[in-house]
Amino acid sequence: MSTTPTDGARTGAKAFNLDDLELQQVRPGFSRTGIRSDGAVTTVNWFEPGYKTVGPHSHPFDQLSYVLAGAMRFYVGDEVFDLTAPAVLHIPGGVPHCAEPLGEEKALNIDVFAPVREDYLSLCEHQGYEQ
């Protein structure tokens, strides 16, 4: 099965190799890219060991945060969740939250937001969607 950026001729399916997607540096130690579908935006987040959160934020979107490599600490409201890959956390819309990596391993965190976050569409330009 190919993982190069390709379009499904008949189905409209698209495949991407995450290592090949251009990353946007958010802050030193935290970079991301994005993938979208018609109903959601997914961010692919890379956290370097030692990155520290800048504090909580909130948004009206439901968020599923998947930890696929390494470990992450999530601060959600007044609760703390330590997740080690593979794991997932549901963060309801409107709840203040933030996250940072744990340990000495680079962490891969994938966040799925629904409905589509218009403010993250620029992360998905490589897919050719019109904004």
For residue 121, count other CB atoms closer than 10 A to its CB.
16
* Residue 12: pLDDT over 90: no
Residue 10 lies in a domain: no
For residue 96, the enclosing domain spans: 24-127
Residue 18 lies in a domain: no
pLDDT, tens digit, 9 for 90 and up, residues 97-123: 999 999 999 999 999 998 889 999 999
Residue 112 lies in a domain: yes
Measured in whole angstroms, the distance separating CA 120 from the mean position of its chain's CA atoms is 11
Residue 71 lies in a domain: yes
Strand pairing of 71-76 and 79-84?
antiparallel
- CATH number of domain containing 60: 2.60.120.10
Which stretches of the chain are assigned E, i.e. beta strand?
A: 6-7, 14-15, 24-27, 30-36, 41-47, 62-69, 71-76, 79-84, 87-91, 97-102, 107-114
What average pLDDT does the chain have? 91
Residue 72 lies in a domain: yes
CA-wise closest residue to 70 among 106, 100, 30, 46: 106
Q: How many domains does the chain have?
A: 1
* Residue 2: pLDDT over 60: no
Residue 9 lies in a domain: no
